């Protein structure tokens, strides 16, 4: 396992939240741990899609899988991520519409 700090952590986080479904997963996990099937149902995605997104988030080091009997639940890898996500929700951005689309993609 490789430990990352500073800019690489931000880069991984940025990649993870660049996908709207992964961003929504992190928002849900910021409030409480959850099972993949419950996450899939809540977000309206297939279980296969959820599995792929959770694999990505695990690979980025943002979530961990916790065995729970015959099931596995997911939670944020570090409680500070939950605090950071909640802090980011309070940020207000002034966006130049000629530079960035409403979905956040840059057009430059």
Average pLDDT, the chain: 90
Of 49, 60, 58, 47, nearest to 15 by C-alpha is: 60
The domains of the chain, with CATH numbers, are: 7-89 (1.10.10.10)
39 is written with which tokens? 């996450």
Burial of 40 (0-12, 13-18, 19+ CB in 10 A): buried
pLDDT of residue 2: 64
Question: What distance in Å separates the CA atoms of residue 35 and residue 71, rounded to the nearest whole number?
Answer: 8
This prediction has a pTM of 0.82
pLDDT of residue 11: 86
Sequence length of the chain is: 108
**pLDDT tens, 2-33?**
666 678 888 888 889 899 999 999 999 999 99
Q: Describe the crossing of helices 20-29 and 47-59 by its angle, rounded to 10 degrees.
A: 80
Cα-Cα-Cα-Cα dihedral of 43, 92, 6, 52, to 10°?
10
Question: What distance in Å separates the CA atoms of residue 49 and residue 42, rounded to the nearest whole number?
Answer: 13
**pLDDT tens, 80-108?**
999 999 999 999 888 788 887 767 677 76
């Amino acid at each position: 396992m490789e430990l990352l700090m500073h800019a690489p952590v931000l880069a991984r986080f940025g990649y993870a939240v660049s996908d709207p479904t992964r961003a929504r997963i992190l928002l849900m996990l910021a409030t409480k741990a959850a099972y993949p099937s419950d996450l899939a149902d809540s977000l309206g995605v297939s279980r296969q899609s959820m599995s792929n997104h959770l694999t990505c988030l695990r690979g980025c080091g943002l979530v961990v899988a916790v065995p729970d009997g015959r099931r596995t639940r997911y939670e944020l890898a570090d409680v500070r991520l939950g605090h950071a996500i909640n802090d980011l929700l309070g940020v207000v951005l002034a966006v130049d519409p000629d530079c960035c689309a409403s979905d956040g993609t840059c057009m430059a």
